[in-house]
Amino acid sequence: MQSIIKKISLILLSACCSLSLQAAESQWLTLIDGATGMENFSVVGSANWSASDGALQATEGSGTSFLLTNDSFADFELHIEFWVSEDANSGIYMRCQDITGITDRNCYEANIYDQRPDLTFGTGGIVHVGPVSEPFPKVGGQWNTYHITLNGSSLVVNLNGEETVNVMDEQFAQGPIALQWARGTVRFRAMRIRPL
């Protein structure tokens, strides 16, 4: 009898865990995958953004350009994979305040810029807010992952599984997210966000 009760308990526990995982997964909103992408964004600027091989990419333009999310976000967990050429200048801009003039002064920018003159705010850092430490990350020529959590004034950046920024800042409370092209080749894929 105890054996039967134990088996039933294990089955019920397994079912509960499965439902809990499904509920957690359903909270994520997919913005880029192999089937979705450009429809979730507006193009700002003149880069040649396109969908290719499950990613959104740009290779040229005149001036800085962005893919701007159609929705605004406040507190969230963001997962995104990116590939950039070694000479690329890109970034993930978050809680943007002025969608007609997106800059690293009116958004939080998780930088992707291996050749930035001041590498303390290069790849892995949040420009003007959260510096990175030596050895400075280099990401050109390979797929990389950003996992970023903005929760109130807490800003945490993980690059390829390593925490690069963990700071407090209260400048911006909410706004859309913008993926930047400024130079080189940039590709973004597997982008999803979970509101907190």
Q: What is the pLDDT of residues 33-73, one digit of tens each?
A: 987 789 999 999 999 999 999 999 999 999 999 999 999 99
Q: Which residues pair with 191 in a beta bridge?
A: 32
End-to-end Cα spacing for the chain: 44
pTM of the entire structure? 0.87
CB contact at 8 A, 172 and 58: no
Task: Give me the pLDDT at residue 5, please.
Answer: 58
Residue 35: the pLDDT is 76
> Which of the residues in the chain have pLDDT under 70?
1-26
Distance of alpha carbon 62 from the chain centroid: 24
Topology of the domain comprising 29-195: Jelly Rolls (2.60.120)
